[in-house]
Structure formats: structure tokens, C-alpha cells
Amino acid sequence: MSINQLQLTPELIAALYKKGLVSSKEQKKKEVENTDSADLQSTVKYLGKHKNKILVLVNEPQAVFLQDAQLTYLTKILNACQRTVEDIALINLATTPNQNYRTLLQALPSTLVLLFGVTPTQLQLPIDFPHYQLQKLEHTTFLQAPLLQAVESSKTDREKLWQSLKKYFDV
């Protein structure tokens, strides 16, 4: 029997082509989006596992992510909010150049973005807002604060940050 005489039953064809012979435009679009997001995520270096969709952005030229003292302080802040480093993705913009908020959120979709020593202008956000104000944009809330060292050393800044975080996390 030659290959030209081979006859396939409908059941065999269905088994061979479980996903279909022709994919829809929607299916192709989803596949491309998932690939693009995975590619972006693999190019952005971050600390944490991003379990609770919290993105923490810092600007620390002297460290890969943060100096040990600032990382310890950030961990205390997270613990007070009943979160851990696993719940966040910590990105140091000093080592991740040319990143705007859309690129970062495409790579790591987040519900909350904490900016420590990073301004809305640096991220090319279309809005500007003062420190400690919870600012909603699209499906993400942004919170801007001074550098972690400055927050830690100022009682006023610590209190303002805590009030904003308490409001967001309802703790």
C-alpha cells in the first residue's frame, strides 16, 4: 500500500489535530501576547516571585537590587503589611535602563507599584503626583516615596508611608 492510498478515519484525524488545523486570529493574538510577556519578563531582572502582583521600583546605583540595610528595611515594611519578598518583584532602575511604566507592567503585570526614589517622570507616567498619595492609573495603583534610606531615617516619612500602605492593604 502506498502513501497515496492511505485512508484516515475522522477519529484518527481528530486525534492527530487536537488543536485544529487552522487557528483563529484571537488564538494567534493570545499566543503572541503570552510569548511577548514571557520574553519581556525574562529580560527584566528582579528579586522576588511577584506572587501578589506588587512591583517595587528603586534607583540604587551602588547595588544590584538594594543595599543590605535597605533590603532589611523593605522586608520590615512588607512584613508590617503582611507580605514577604516573595510577594513582590523588586527592580533596580539603575541596572535596568530605559524602562517605562508600560514596558515594566507588560513584563510584570501589577496591581500596586511602589516607587522609592523614582519619580513618575522617570517612568514616563502621564501623570505626576505627590509622595504618599495613592494614585490609580488604569488597573494599577502607584505610590511614590523618597529613597528607602530617607524614609527610614525620618519619623514623618515613615508615618506617611505607613498611612498610605495601611489604606491600600486595609491593615
Per-residue model confidence (pLDDT) at position 31: 53
Residues of the chain with pLDDT under 70: 1-3, 8, 12, 16-42, 98
In this structure, CATH architecture of domain 45-169: 3-Layer(aba) Sandwich (3.40)
Per-residue model confidence (pLDDT) at position 35: 43
Contacts of 105 (CB under 8 A, 6+ apart): 55, 113, 140
For residue range 6-42, list pLDDT tens digits in order. Answer: 776 777 677 766 665 555 556 555 554 444 444 555 5
Query: How many helices (H) and strands (E) in the chain?
Result: 6, 5
Percent of the chain residues past pLDDT 90, beyond the cut = 68
Per-residue model confidence (pLDDT) at position 30: 53
Contacts of 100 (CB under 8 A, 6+ apart): 123, 124
